[in-house]
C-alpha cells in the first residue's frame, strides 16, 4: 500500500508551510503546479476565501483535504470563555464538514491566563471535547487530538504525549483519534508502543512531517525541512505504516526561513525531499 518512490499520491501540504503563497486559491494553484492534490488548510485561509468558495475550489479540483486546522483551545479563566471556545469549535466542525476534511486537528490549549493549574487545564480540555463530540459525530467529522512538544504546555497544548492523548481518546470513544506530528513526539521514549496502540484502535487520523534542527533557534518558527535535522523520518514512517496507517504525509513547517522563499521553490524542495528522504525505504542521510 506504500506509494512508489517519487509518487505524490501520499503527499499533502499544510498551508502553514506555504502561507506566503497568498490566498486559498493561489496556494491550491501552486500545489497543483507541482502535482500535489492533497492539502490541509487553516481556518484563516478559509475565512478569507469564504467557506462556500473554499469548498468549491476543493471539489472542482478533486482535492483531498487531509485535515482542517484547527479546533481546540478549550481552557479559559471563566465560564464565558469556555462557552465561547465550544461555539468556535462547533463552527470549525461545520467548516471541516463542508470541506470534507479527513479530520479537524485539535490543538487543545494550555493554561488559562493567570493559572498554574495544568491538571485543571487538562480537565477543561476533556470537558470541552466531550461537549463538542456529539456535534462532530452528527456532522461526520473526526476529531484528531495533536499532542504538542512539552515546551508548548503552558500556552498551546497541555496534552504533550501520545499516551496522554490516547488515554483521552479511549475515554471519549468513537470519532476521536490523534494527529501524529514528528516534530512534537519524535523524542518520546514510549513512542513506538503508543503508535502501535493507536494503530490497533484505528486512532491514527493524520501524520505530519518536518524535521528538528540542531540548534533550533525558535521553537515555533524554526522547524526544519525534511532531511535537514535529526529525525529518522523513514523509520518513523515505517512505524506509522506498521500500525496500519497508510494515509498522506502532511508537510507542516513553521519556518521564517522557508516562508521567506518563493512558494514554488519551497514546493520543489518538498517534492524532492518527500521522494528521497521521507519514504520507509529511504536513507535518513539522503538529503
209-231 pLDDT per residue, tens: 999 999 999 999 999 999 999 99
Q: DSSP assignment, residue 21?
A: G
Residue 274, Ramachandran bin (φ over 0: left; ψ between -120 and 50: alpha; else beta): alpha
Q: What is the arithmetic mean of pLDDT over 269-287?
A: 86
Q: Which helix (H) or strand (E) holds 38?
A: strand 38-40
C-alpha span between 55 and 49 (Å, rounded): 10
> What percent of the chain shows pLDDT beyond 90?
95
pLDDT at 2 over 50: no
Own/partner long-range contacts of 76-83 (Cβ < 8 Å, ≥24 apart): 76/112, 76/124, 77/112, 77/113, 77/114, 77/115, 81/112, 82/124, 82/127, 82/128
pLDDT at 284 over 90: no
79 and 116 in contact (C-beta within 8 Å)? no
Nearest to 261 by CA among 17, 14, 5: 17
C-alpha span between 159 and 183 (Å, rounded): 14
Nearest to 269 by CA among 210, 226, 229: 226
Q: Please report the pLDDT score of residue 5 as a whole number.
A: 42
Give the model confidence (pLDDT) of 154-170 as tens digits. Answer: 999 999 999 999 999 99
Phi, psi of 251 (to 5 degrees): -80, 115
Which residues have C-beta within 8 Å of that of residue 219, sequence separation ≥ 6?
149, 151, 152
Q: How many CB atoms lie within 10 A of CB 158?
A: 26
**Considering the chain, what is the average pLDDT of its residues?**
96
Which class would CATH give 11-276? alpha beta
Which residue would you say has higher pLDDT here, 64 or 286?
A: 64
207 and 249 in contact (C-beta within 8 Å)? yes
Q: Please report the pLDDT score of residue 285 as a whole number.
A: 59
C-alpha span between 76 and 158 (Å, rounded): 13
Read off the pTM: 0.96
85 and 127 in contact (C-beta within 8 Å)? no
C-alpha span between 220 and 181 (Å, rounded): 14
- Cis amide prior to 164 (ω within 30 degrees): no
Q: Please report the pLDDT score of residue 283 as a whole number.
A: 72
72 and 124 in contact (C-beta within 8 Å)? no
222 and 185 in contact (C-beta within 8 Å)? no
Q: Please report the pLDDT score of residue 282 as a whole number.
A: 86
Nearest to 145 by CA among 178, 122, 115: 178
Amino acid at each position: 500500500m506504500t506509494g512508489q518512490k517519487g509518487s505524490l499520491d501520499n503527499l499533502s501540504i499544510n498551508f502553514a508551510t506555504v502561507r506566503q503563497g497568498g490566498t486559498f486559491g493561489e496556494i491550491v494553484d501552486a500545489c497543483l503546479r507541482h502535482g500535489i492534490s492533497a492539502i490541509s488548510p487553516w481556518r484563516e485561509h478559509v475565512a478569507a476565501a469564504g467557506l462556500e468558495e473554499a469548498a468549491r475550489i476543493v471539489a472542482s479540483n478533486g482535492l483531498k483535504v487531509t485535515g482542517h486546522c484547527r479546533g481546540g483551545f478549550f481552557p479559559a479563566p471563566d465560564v464565558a470563555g469556555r462557552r465561547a471556545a465550544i461555539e468556535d469549535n462547533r463552527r470549525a466542525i461545520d467548516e471541516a464538514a463542508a470541506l470534507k476534511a479527513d479530520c479537524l486537528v485539535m490543538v487543545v490549549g494550555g493554561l488559562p491566563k493567570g493559572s498554574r493549574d495544568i491538571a485543571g487545564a487538562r480537565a477543561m480540555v476533556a470537558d470541552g471535547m466531550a461537549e463538542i463530540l456529539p456535534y462532530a459525530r452528527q456532522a461526520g467529522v473526526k476529531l484528531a487530538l495533536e499532542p504538542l512538544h512539552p515546551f508548548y504546555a503552558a500556552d498551546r497544548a497541555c496534552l504533550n504525549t501520545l499516551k496522554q492523548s490516547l488515554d483521552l481518546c479511549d475515554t471519549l470513544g468513537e470519532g476521536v483519534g490523534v494527529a501524529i506530528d514528528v516534530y512534537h513526539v519524535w523524542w518520546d521514549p514510549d513512542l513506538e508502543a503508543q503508535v502501535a496502540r493507536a494503530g490497533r484502535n484505528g486512532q491514527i487520523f493524520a501524520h505530519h512531517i518536518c524535521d528538528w534542527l540542531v540548534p533550533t533557534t525558535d521553537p515555533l518558527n524554526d522547524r526544519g525541512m525534511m532531511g535537514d535535522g535529526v529525525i529518522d523520518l523513514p523509520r518513523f514512517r515505517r512505524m506509522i505504516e506498521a500500525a496500519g496507517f497508510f494515509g498522506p504525509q502532511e508537510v507542516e513547517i513553521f519556518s521564517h526561513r522557508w516562508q521567506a522563499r518563493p512558494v514554488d521553490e519551497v514546493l520543489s524542495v518538498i517534492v524532492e525531499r518527500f521522494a528521497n528522504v521521507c519514504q520507509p525505504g529511504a536513507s535518513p542521510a539522503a538529503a
